[in-house]
Amino acid sequence: RVMKESAGITVVFPGIGPDELADRLSRAGVPVMGVVSEGRYILDFFTVMDHDLGDLAQSLLGACSGLER
């Protein structure tokens, strides 16, 4: 088994749990796939390219729409 090096970030939106966040992002106009591990939503950048960043940002913003700031 070959392991590839990668980097990820934990994504947190107050008022949304990691499972709900995963659900919202997977149903976004441009689906975002991450993993819920140890009670955290982790977004892995292994397959995210520079040209994907705008769509990724829009999906993240859409996932938190309607939340109080």
21-38 pLDDT, tens per residue? 999 999 888 888 899 999
The model's confidence at residue 66, banded by pLDDT at 50, 70 and 90, is low
User: Who wins on pLDDT, 2 or 18?
Assistant: 18
8 Å CB contact between 15 and 68: yes
Residue 69, pLDDT above cutoff 90: no
* Confidence (pTM): 0.77
Mean pLDDT on 38-65: 88
Residue 41, pLDDT above cutoff 90: yes
Distance CA 69, CA 53 (A): 23
Q: What is the three-class DSSP state of 41? A: strand
The number of angstroms, rounded, from the C-alpha of 57 to the middle of its chain's C-alpha atoms is 9
Distance CA 55, CA 61 (A): 10
